[in-house]
Structure 1
Amino acid sequence: MREMNLLKFQIVELLDKHRKITAVAEALGLKQPTVTYHMKSLEQEYGVKLFEPRMDKVILTEAGRALLHYAGKINCLASEAKRTVEEYGTPGRGTLRVGASYVPATYMLPRLLKEFAARHPKVTVTLAVKPSAVIKEMLLNHEIDLGVLSAEPFRLPMLDVRELCDDELVLAHAPSHDLAASSELTPGLLCTADFVLHGPHSSTRELTDRWLEQHGVRLEQHLELDSLEAIKQMVIQGGHVTFASGLAIQAEVARGQLLARAIPEFRHRRKISCATNRDRHHSGPLDSMMELLQGWEQIQ
């Protein structure tokens, strides 16, 4: 079996990103001939063309793109191994990479991160806010250590998933909206309302679309906004309604700005869960963050 050279896999990833040997050499602190040597060495090792010059750029061939898939995983694992081992040499220090979907990132994690920082003042935490589907992929690819996401209950072979709490989807509208006069809501009644929809990559939008389709509700007119905060402000004005996370509108409901009502004939469940890759070594900071997540409702 040929010896693996991690530098070569880094070159593959960087070439896909920059498409210029000069940029790859600069990123790695190498000379251009060194990068070119490793590229040729890789092609000789695998006996197939991996790189193709085009004008002033270098692109990956089909075989090169197949290798890229594994190069990314290998690079992430190597980086993770280095970080994990270094933590033993500097007790109390380290980095914890967290990925979260919008609702837990905005309405759950801030107070947890404050508590975590008090317990681990020398640990650096990075937080990536992405859709739930992206968080799952980042976990599988070892790009993050911990994922916190709002989604329908799920199981994946490579992930350890722990459900933390319900993230109920509710109908939100202002107390002044016409629907406030209706004690009982029906799908037919909702189809007369002006909706504000979440962006197409949102799990809330996915569930909203499924409910609309299941009940044959066709929206003649609607707004679509990517920002949940903008959606809430729009609905507070009184002319529109939306489906939203009950957790995300708690403050507005408490202030009397919004009403949260059960969505009629809504059959979907959504949970906030935390997940880790089964192959990820659990460090002290990771276990500490998971402990905080499991008791998050007691943290003020």
Structure 2
Amino acid sequence: MNLNLLKLRIVELLEKHHKITTVAEILELKQPTVTFHMKNMERDFGVKLFDTRMGKIILTDAGYALHHYAVKIGALAAEAQRAVTEFDALRKGSLRIGASYVPATYLLPEVLHRFSTKYPGIHISLSVKTAPAIRDMLEKHSIDLGIISTEPFMSPELQTETICEDDLVLIFSPNHILAADPQPTAEQIASSSFVLHGAESSTRRLTERWLEGNRRRLPSYLEFDSLEAIKQAVILGEHVSFVSRMAVEAELKQGLLEMREIPGNEFKRHIYMATNKNRHRSALLSKFTEHLIECLKLVQ
């Protein structure tokens, strides 16, 4: 069976664009050449991989099974090329980082600034997504390094290292009724007007687990996907929320918010540095992770 990278790339692009003409343009091939490779793959596998529906190419179930591996093989091939052609990596190279919102916003900007000042020839891209999305990107070899804030987890494909704590705290306005109490109870907190994080957020999951553990239900609440929007809503004075301590340091110093420990909070959250175990660890990636750890030592 002659299953080369070009054929796998065709499968990957057809799933994305559903048009032979578009795939041919991207790969700089003639349309009959793309069609030829499609038919060859179906003949070699002995199953139908592609359907045509209303002028669009749709992958069959077998086609989607092949697509799953086409994406992984394509990413590994690109990584192999980068690893082999890497030279003088600290003067010229690229690094793809994925991070969840808290470390991306409150930890990495200074780290990246210092690194780019020291190594100006390095191109760094930062993708900000939820922790589960970053883990998925790592497993698919879409990024080189993940920095995520989440509760402890295990993954057979990822190598993880805890780099610092990211504990949750209760926040409210200095004008809120809870500001008069140095140790609010779970009942007082749950009966307050709450602002919850979005459903995909690890903070949301920990908040719900805290409510369940304390046998409390929120009578009403707002739900925002944006941490900045949550902070602004709380600053207005009527609401409370659970957020990362790291995310409110500036507002606490300015007197815009007050903070309390969350009573009965047994759930620990950390910021992890994660890489794919099967990924080549380049000199550039090693140097950046060393830089990240050194920067954290300076601020702790």
For residues 226 and 131 of structure 2, the distance between their equivalents in structure 1, rounded to whole angstroms, comes to 16
For residues 106 and 52 of structure 1, the distance between their equivalents in structure 2, rounded to whole angstroms, comes to 44
- Residues 1:21 and 1:89: Cα distance change in structure 2 (over 3 Å): farther
Matched, 1:102 2:108: no
Deviation at 1:88, TM superposition (A): 2.3
Matched residue type, 1:297: L
1:33 matched residue in structure 2 = 32
Q: What is the number of residues matched between the two proteins?
A: 299
Q: Does the Cα contact within 8 Å between 2:3 and 2:41 map onto a contact in 1?
A: no
Matched residue type, 1:80: E
Cα deviation 1:25-45 (Å, max 9, x = unaligned): 112111111111111111111
Deviation at 1:13, TM superposition (A): 0.8
Q: Does the Cα contact within 8 Å between 2:90 and 2:122 map onto a contact in 1?
A: no
For residues 173 and 86 of structure 1, the distance between their equivalents in structure 2, rounded to whole angstroms, comes to 53
Q: Does the Cα contact within 8 Å between 2:98 and 2:147 map onto a contact in 1?
A: yes
Deviation at 1:174, TM superposition (A): 1.1
For residues 207 and 131 of structure 1, the distance between their equivalents in structure 2, rounded to whole angstroms, comes to 14
For residues 64 and 137 of structure 2, the distance between their equivalents in structure 1, rounded to whole angstroms, comes to 19
Matched, 1:48 2:47: yes
1:17 matched residue in structure 2 = 16
- The more displaced of 181-190 and 65-74 is 181-190
For residues 261 and 101 of structure 1, the distance between their equivalents in structure 2, rounded to whole angstroms, comes to 24
- 4+ runs of 1 displaced by more than 3 Å? none
Kindly report the root-mean-square deviation, in angstroms, between the aligned alpha carbons of the 2 structures: 1.4
Deviation at 1:90, TM superposition (A): 6.9
Normalising by structure 2, we get a TM-score of 0.96
Q: Does the Cα contact within 8 Å between 1:95 and 1:124 map onto a contact in 2?
A: yes
1:231 matched residue in structure 2 = 230
For residues 229 and 61 of structure 2, the distance between their equivalents in structure 1, rounded to whole angstroms, comes to 43
Q: Does the Cα contact within 8 Å between 2:89 and 2:283 map onto a contact in 1?
A: no
1:185 matched residue in structure 2 = 184
Q: Does the Cα contact within 8 Å between 2:160 and 2:272 map onto a contact in 1?
A: yes
Structure 1: which 5+ runs fail to align? Answer: none
Matched residue type, 1:54: R
2:66 matched residue in structure 1 = 67
Matched residue type, 1:282: R
Deviation at 1:3, TM superposition (A): 3.8
1:151 matched residue in structure 2 = 150
- The more displaced of 259-268 and 181-190 is 181-190
For residues 277 and 116 of structure 1, the distance between their equivalents in structure 2, rounded to whole angstroms, comes to 22
For residues 226 and 36 of structure 2, the distance between their equivalents in structure 1, rounded to whole angstroms, comes to 47
Cα deviation 1:28-69 (Å, max 9, x = unaligned): 111111111111111111111100111200100010011111
- Residues 1:89 and 1:176: Cα distance change in structure 2 (over 3 Å): closer
Between the two proteins, what is the percent identity of the paired residues?
52
Normalising by structure 1, we get a TM-score of 0.96
Matched residue type, 1:13: E
1:202 matched residue in structure 2 = 201
For residues 121 and 129 of structure 1, the distance between their equivalents in structure 2, rounded to whole angstroms, comes to 22
List aligned pairs for 1:118-129, cutoff 5 A: 118-129=117-128
For residues 119 and 4 of structure 1, the distance between their equivalents in structure 2, rounded to whole angstroms, comes to 43
Deviation at 1:283, TM superposition (A): 1.3
| Corresponding residue SS for 1:48 | coil
- Residues 1:72 and 1:272: Cα distance change in structure 2 (over 3 Å): same
Q: Does the Cα contact within 8 Å between 2:168 and 2:242 map onto a contact in 1?
A: yes
Matched, 1:252 2:251: yes
Cα deviation 1:278-299 (Å, max 9, x = unaligned): 1111112211111122122345
